[in-house]
Amino acid sequence: MSKEVPQPPLCDKIEHSYQLIGRKWVGLIIRSLIEEPKRFSEIHAYIPDLSKRVLNERLKELEESGIILRHVITSRPVRIEYSLTR
């Protein structure tokens, strides 16, 4: 009989990162922001099969996790751009 060697637990931050990055659409959202900041509609146009509701949820999750920044541009009309953090 072979004995399984217990694996040490992963760092909570690493575990959370794996779970977040592994979610559906997150990789494509990050890919769409690699070259330059984009508005919601530009990200949606880059990933047309992604519903606006899910895109909104994923953007909030990525912002809360510190992966993207949400920048409000106070010109008329008000615009919101998303960009990757360092």
Q: Give the pLDDT of residue 3.
A: 74
79, part of any domain? yes
Q: What does pTM read for this prediction?
A: 0.78
**pLDDT score at 86:** 87
pLDDT at residue 2 in the model: 64
Q: How far apart are CA 69 and CA 51, in angstroms?
A: 21
Give the pLDDT of residue 13: 75
Please check whether residue 18 lies inside any domain of the structure: yes
Q: What residue numbers bound the domain in which 29 lies? A: 12-84
Tell me which residues of the chain have a pLDDT lower than 50: none
The verdict on residue 29 lying in a domain is yes
Closest CA to 17 of 61, 55, 48: 61
Residue 61 confidence (pLDDT): 93
Bond from prior residue into 48 cis (ω within 30 degrees of 0): no
CATH of the domain at 64: 1.10.10.10
> How many independent structural domains does the chain possess?
1
Residue pointed to by tokens 């895109």: 55
